[in-house]
Amino acid sequence: MSCSCKRSRSQYLRTVNYQGDGLRAGMQWDDSDLGKMQILIDTVHGDSHPGSSHLGGLADEAKIGVYETQGKPAVYAVTDICDGIAMAHDGMNYSLASREIMSFMFEIHALASPYDGAIFMASCDKSVPAQLMTMLRLDMPAIHVCGGSMLSGPEYMSSEILYGAGDKYAKGNLSEQELMYYSRNCCPSAGACQFIGTASTMQCMAEALGLALPGNALAAAYTTHLTRFARRSGRQITENVQNSLIPRKFITKESFMNALMVHAALGGSTNALLHLPAIAREVGISIEQQEFDAVNREVPVLVSLKTGGQWPTDLFWYAGGVPALMRELKDILYLDAMTVTGKTVGENLEQLAAAGWFAEVNSYLTNYKISAGDIVKTRQKPVKPQGNIKILKGNLAPEGAVIKLSGVDEAIHNFIGTARVFDSEETAVADLLAGKIGPKTALFIRFEGPKGSGMPEMLRTTEALWNMPELASSVALFTDGRFSGATRGPAVGHIAPEGVAGGPIAYLEDDDLIKMDVAARTLDIVGIKGKPATPEAVAAILAERKKTKVFPVKETTPLLRLYKKLARTCTEGAGLEI
């Protein structure tokens, strides 16, 4: 059929560029295809990692859905990198920058060709927020399709186990056969990793914002449930084009507050504190760090997810996933927030219940001899009475720092330690593994913020520390870089201002005294060279050190130089100042 939507973009652009019809004919487009509604399906399909390797099949399902509603789909791809593969070497410096590059490429795909609407597909850390940023930037109907969750390994094993296993193997305490057992079985299918890392968190944020179909986030990637979501999205996008349902026109601050509440109930990744503000900025909405802190004071943790908790994400989906959390939080959510279904959050929840969806997915848990209530708790009997995210401030972090309390020993909530300062993660990990870090140490890795080195993750360090029980309850890690959503143990990141911007972290020296009080939400330098000092004395010493401090110059590339030059602060989402 011809596209009947009001002033179809695709049909208008045909009248100004007749060459386009000929080029499409070279891809076996029929004459009748040219007059149909044109739908872009943009994925991160590729052989980069399990979260993207299966998206080609999902794109095929979305195409069927578009065809079923008489549209014409076209599939594009910009594959993403895997933070787990980029970890522990300089490749991690590209991770956050890749969010911006991918977002620009998705924008180029949508606007350089005559499309009327778009479906975006991704599973993981930077590709999901990149696509959500683009969706809110475009004046175009769009839907996000989440790539779902990987099958759990034996005993709910997942890939982070290989850090500890690898360290044991390197020391001769684990055989190669045992190491390869973990390697073969920790990622047994496609989909996002089975813990509430950044990948899983951002899928849930896409759904909580109303930008993906209800129930889609973390759907078991090894089932036909996920392929059905993809096909339904193909049908939904043509309806949204007809109805001019455009995300940037219906998304509101209330949509983002819903996402913050779901994030707290999930115990989600600290990286959401970078991604949600960057996504919101696309529509002129401000999300402050203190809003995360305020929400986490009020919203309890309702599900105990790996790595810091009990359950893998595929079982969480069988327990009802994001809709189950939203149903439990409905008294405090903004139920009238609009979504890509053309219905509100409240209407979506009612429709899922009426269709028997909760009972259907819950039925899979009988295979595990558990119930949905074992996984998703009530607000009256939560996993934790408050969320895991706390924002700390003090003379070490005047603009703030972030701690996630999952797996953090309460003994370290009120911490005083002696600083050991490193200018790179590699040297810090080397000393840690060599036994050169003792108890009561405040371990600092600095010059790793957005402008310092692209703000890489520090999962290698946190996992090394986690696997040293003798230190895990007495050593805290501090950085102006960031952490993986899989991080466990005492780790404080996003320290702002960052080192290269002249933040106090730049002028720390070994043996300075650090105090962290989680309950009071404070982070301060309380002594110099092992001796207690007043705040005034600390400020004076830092001012003297500033006069002679020379910042390290890190090897870099044109792309990273561009990112570091234009990057906003982490408190603003570390997007580009353009």
CB atoms within 10 A of CB 577: 9
Burial 197-211 (b: 16+ CB within 10 A, else e): bbbbbbbbbbbbbbb
Q: Which ranges in 355-457 belong to alpha helices (H)?
A: 357-362, 372-375, 425-433, 450-453
* Residue 473, helix vs strand vs coil: coil
Q: Are strands 71-77 and 37-43 parallel, antiparallel or unpaired?
A: parallel
From its phi and psi, is residue 447 left (phi > 0), alpha (psi between -120 and 50) or beta? left
How large is the greatest C-alpha to C-alpha distance in the chain, in angstroms? 81
Strand ranges of the sheet holding 389-392, from the earlier edge strand across to the other edge: 389-392, 400-404, 491-496, 476-479, 441-445, 414-422, 513-517, 522-528, 531-532
484 tagged catalytic: yes
Q: Which ranges in 186-223 belong to alpha helices (H)?
A: 198-208
Provide φ and ψ at 215, rounded to 5°.
95, -10
Q: d(Cα 335, Cα 214) in Å, to the nearest integer?
A: 13
The identity of residue 162, as a single letter, is L
Candidate list 149, 159, 453, 484, residue with the active-site label: 484
**Hey, what are 468's tokens?**
């040293």
Q: d(Cα 418, Cα 406) in Å, to the nearest integer?
A: 23
CB 126 within 8 A of CB 48: no
Please report, for residues 53, 56, 79, 509, the alpha-carbon distance to residue 122 in angstroms, rounded to integers and kept in the order given.
10, 11, 9, 42
Q: d(Cα 308, Cα 553) in Å, to the nearest integer?
A: 36
Side-chain half-sphere CA neighbours of 92 within 13 A: 22
Q: Which residue has the tokens 């989909």?
A: 191
Burial 509-529 (b: 16+ CB within 10 A, else e): eeebbbbbebeebebbbbbbe
* Residue 348, helix vs strand vs coil: helix
Please report, for residues 156, 335, 373, the alpha-carbon distance to residue 291 in angstroms, rounded to integers and kept in the order given.
33, 19, 29
| Angle, helix 95-111 to helix 272-281, in steps of 10 degrees | 30
Active site amino acids? 484
